[in-house]
Chains A and B, each alone.
Chain A
């Protein structure tokens, strides 16, 4: 009996040693030299493999960092400045600083603001709906509501609001990888500079139709009246194709444009309620419900802060 056990031990050990030798030799033979710094950089990266940097994944980005030997056009939007400083530390290079960004949906065409004109019954995909026709409202620029952006988000940072039928970005989770920007066939999502306390001011509209047509399709459409551009003390607003655009790098959150906008197309989010002025737009809404149906900015504000805090 003991002989059997002995044999077993000897045979197994012999196989083990033999296999180990073969493995070692093969590993030596086919060894590929890899810069150990790639592993270090890879370690420092968030590992989300989202592709927000423009590379196929974190590993590819790490390889690019090491091989390029400079970081001027490399930036990981997920890790942000901290992560890039770490990488720069590992490689002994200078990292560029970028302001953190956050995705913003530039459409406020809720069911109330933008009445439906037909029913879409095709495959649930914005890309398909968009290539088929102008959408189920009269605005052929606005959100189609099929949720392509929600589907591509790897971070669960964008959700469909069942009440408005529009996507809502959850600021704390958004890493500005830009997947939703690419996914939106209407080009509604923009990466804007992250402001203190997640405050945002932006034109919530992409309708390039002439004012009257835009207004007819959606009560909160930008009609390109240029009032905001004239009001802005920082030259942050430009008008092109009947559409205002607020440059988030120039905007100082003074909120003057919000006040002058005749259609409430400019949205302000996450601001404390205005002491006096907040009442005014609300009063207007009640007075002329047809002309201005948009919820007052303050309410909007509360709604979107809720999930974050």
Chain B
């Protein structure tokens, strides 16, 4: 027997879950997509991923140790995850120094400046990505050739970028069919793009694992993808020459990556199912609006960041299901 008995308020048992485990599960869920990106982009992807992860972990350690002088939080794996997500969001040809800058922004500004994991209002990896996108638009949007892609046309731009360019120059969509990859190619990832966004199937596999582990609930992904589908579908029915079909929207431009991995980030998404649904619908509408009407071909990063900012408000007004309080 130890020296003294321990006294603490109830409960005296604790569930198995921990922050570290949740992070680990998300990381595991991302492995299929990561492996696919290695297959498709080769060494470039491996270098990008390792640099992003290493620099995120390094900055987390260095900043919390030497600048903030707080407890070292590398162990919770959240920096590792941020690095991985950041790598998923950049092209594999991105210069290494840019990745490092992205990691610094993601960890330093996106996360630790707010007080570390749990206090950041925005998804750190997205902050890093958007910073890079705005600072180095050329490097961030020149995609390397996809080795497996059977379509010759998609070598310099993502399908979304291609379509955007075509539409703005007045080309009707029916003339693009031989340039735009088929839905099957999109689904399995035989396209160009950022590391993690190319293969919808790999991302969905990972998401199913997260659902099984209860890291995420269905509300956010379903509401985002559903809204995008409905909104894009409406536009498509109105004029299929001006607007792409909804499946195309779901499968391109990181919509899957965003809806399944970025928007579902616990810290920056609402807490109640109702809030999560509103949040998802918001992301869906903003994403399609940016893609169709905005200047950027791709919009989900901005949509998620915008809705991240709305999250505190949603938390405030969307209360959980009540028990016995309906009268009030």
Cβ of B5 under 8 Å from chain A: yes
Which of A116, A119, A123, A136 is most buried by chain B, counting CB atoms within 10 A of its CB? A119
Tell me how many residues of B have a C-beta within 8 Å of chain A.
Answer: 7
Q: Specify the chain B residue showing the minimal Cβ separation from A120.
A: B7
Q: How far is the CA of A51 from the CA of B8 in the complex (A)?
A: 33
User: In the assembled complex, how far is the CB of residue B28 from the closest CB belonging to chain A, in whole angstroms?
Assistant: 32
Let me know if A119 and B9 touch, CB within 8 A.
no
Q: How far is the CA of A136 from the CA of B5 in the complex (A)?
A: 10
Cβ of B6 under 8 Å from chain A: yes
Q: Specify the chain B residue showing the minimal Cβ separation from A116.
A: B4
Let me know if B9 and A118 touch, CB within 8 A.
no
Let me know if A128 and B4 touch, CB within 8 A.
no
Q: Specify the chain A residue showing the minimal Cβ separation from B2.
A: A119
Let me know if A122 and B4 touch, CB within 8 A.
no
Let me know if A117 and B4 touch, CB within 8 A.
yes
Let me know if A118 and B8 touch, CB within 8 A.
no
Cβ of A121 under 8 Å from chain B: yes
Residues from chain B with Cβ under 8 Å of A118 in the complex: 4-7
Q: Specify the chain B residue showing the minimal Cβ separation from A133.
A: B7
Residues from chain A with Cβ under 8 Å of B8 in the complex: 120-122, 132
A-B Cβ contacts below 8 A, count = 28
B4-20 residues with Cβ-Cβ distance < 8 A to A are 4-9
Let me know if A122 and B9 touch, CB within 8 A.
yes
Residues from chain B with Cβ under 8 Å of A120 in the complex: 6-8
Residues from chain A with Cβ under 8 Å of B6 in the complex: 118-121
User: In the assembled complex, how far is the CB of residue A145 from the closest CB belonging to chain B, in whole angstroms?
Assistant: 14
Residues from chain A with Cβ under 8 Å of B9 in the complex: 122-123, 128, 132
Residues from chain B with Cβ under 8 Å of A132 in the complex: 7-9
A111-131 residues with Cβ-Cβ distance < 8 A to B are 116-123, 128
Q: How far is the CA of A122 from the CA of B9 in the complex (A)?
A: 6
Residues from chain B with Cβ under 8 Å of A117 in the complex: 4
Residues from chain B with Cβ under 8 Å of A128 in the complex: 9
Q: How far is the CA of A118 from the CA of B1 in the complex (A)?
A: 12
User: In the assembled complex, how far is the CB of residue A167 from the closest CB belonging to chain B, in whole angstroms?
Assistant: 21
A52-78 residues with Cβ-Cβ distance < 8 A to B are none
Mark interface residues in B1-41 (1 if CB within 8 Å of A CB, else 0): 00111111100000000000000000000000000000000
Q: How far is the CA of A157 from the CA of B186 in the complex (A)?
A: 65
User: In the assembled complex, how far is the CB of residue A283 from the closest CB belonging to chain B, in whole angstroms?
Assistant: 33
Let me know if B7 and A121 touch, CB within 8 A.
yes
Which of B3, B7, B9 is most buried by chain A, counting CB atoms within 10 A of its CB? B7
Which of B3, B5, B8 is most buried by chain A, counting CB atoms within 10 A of its CB? B8
Q: Specify the chain B residue showing the minimal Cβ separation from A132.
A: B9
Q: How far is the CA of A121 from the CA of B7 in the complex (A)?
A: 6
User: In the assembled complex, how far is the CB of residue B276 from the closest CB belonging to chain A, in whole angstroms?
Assistant: 29
Q: Specify the chain B residue showing the minimal Cβ separation from A135.
A: B7
Q: Specify the chain B residue showing the minimal Cβ separation from A134.
A: B7
Q: How far is the CA of A117 from the CA of B2 in the complex (A)?
A: 12
Q: How far is the CA of A128 from the CA of B6 in the complex (A)?
A: 15
User: In the assembled complex, how far is the CB of residue A114 from the closest CB belonging to chain B, in whole angstroms?
Assistant: 14
User: In the assembled complex, how far is the CB of residue B217 from the closest CB belonging to chain A, in whole angstroms?
Assistant: 29
Q: How far is the CA of A136 from the CA of B9 in the complex (A)?
A: 13
Residues from chain A with Cβ under 8 Å of B3 in the complex: 119
Q: How far is the CA of A103 from the CA of B8 in the complex (A)?
A: 30
Residues from chain B with Cβ under 8 Å of A133 in the complex: 7
User: In the assembled complex, how far is the CB of residue A223 from the closest CB belonging to chain B, in whole angstroms?
Assistant: 25
Q: How far is the CA of A133 from the CA of B5 in the complex (A)?
A: 13
Q: How far is the CA of A174 from the CA of B5 in the complex (A)?
A: 37
User: In the assembled complex, how far is the CB of residue A267 from the closest CB belonging to chain B, in whole angstroms?
Assistant: 28
Residues from chain B with Cβ under 8 Å of A136 in the complex: 4, 7
Q: How far is the CA of A102 from the CA of B152 in the complex (A)?
A: 83
Q: How far is the CA of A132 from the CA of B5 in the complex (A)?
A: 15
Mark interface residues in A125-151 (1 if CB within 8 Å of B CB, else 0): 000100011001000000000000000
Q: How far is the CA of A123 from the CA of B10 in the complex (A)?
A: 11
Q: Specify the chain B residue showing the minimal Cβ separation from A117.
A: B4
Q: How far is the CA of A117 from the CA of B8 in the complex (A)?
A: 14
User: In the assembled complex, how far is the CB of residue A110 from the closest CB belonging to chain B, in whole angstroms?
Assistant: 17
Q: How far is the CA of A121 from the CA of B3 in the complex (A)?
A: 14
Q: Specify the chain B residue showing the minimal Cβ separation from A123.
A: B9
User: In the assembled complex, how far is the CB of residue B48 from the closest CB belonging to chain A, in whole angstroms?
Assistant: 43
Residues from chain A with Cβ under 8 Å of B5 in the complex: 118-119
Q: How far is the CA of A118 from the CA of B9 in the complex (A)?
A: 14
Mark interface residues in B263-285 (1 if CB within 8 Å of A CB, else 0): 00000000000000000000000
Q: Specify the chain B residue showing the minimal Cβ separation from A128.
A: B9
Q: How far is the CA of A118 from the CA of B7 in the complex (A)?
A: 7
Q: How far is the CA of A120 from the CA of B5 in the complex (A)?
A: 9
A77-133 residues with Cβ-Cβ distance < 8 A to B are 116-123, 128, 132-133
Residues from chain A with Cβ under 8 Å of B7 in the complex: 118-122, 132-133, 136
Query: Which 8 interchain pairs have the tightest Cβ spacing?
Result: A121-B8, A122-B8, A118-B4, A122-B9, A119-B6, A121-B6, A119-B4, A118-B5
Q: Which residues of A contact B (CB under 8 A)?
A: 116-123, 128, 132-133, 136
Q: What are 11 A-B pairs with beta-carbon distances under 8 A? A: A116-B4, A118-B4, A118-B7, A120-B6, A120-B7, A120-B8, A121-B6, A122-B7, A122-B9, A128-B9, A136-B4
| Further contacts, 9 of them, CB under 8 A, given A121-B7, A136-B7 | A116-B4, A118-B4, A118-B7, A119-B4, A119-B7, A122-B8, A122-B9, A132-B8, A132-B9
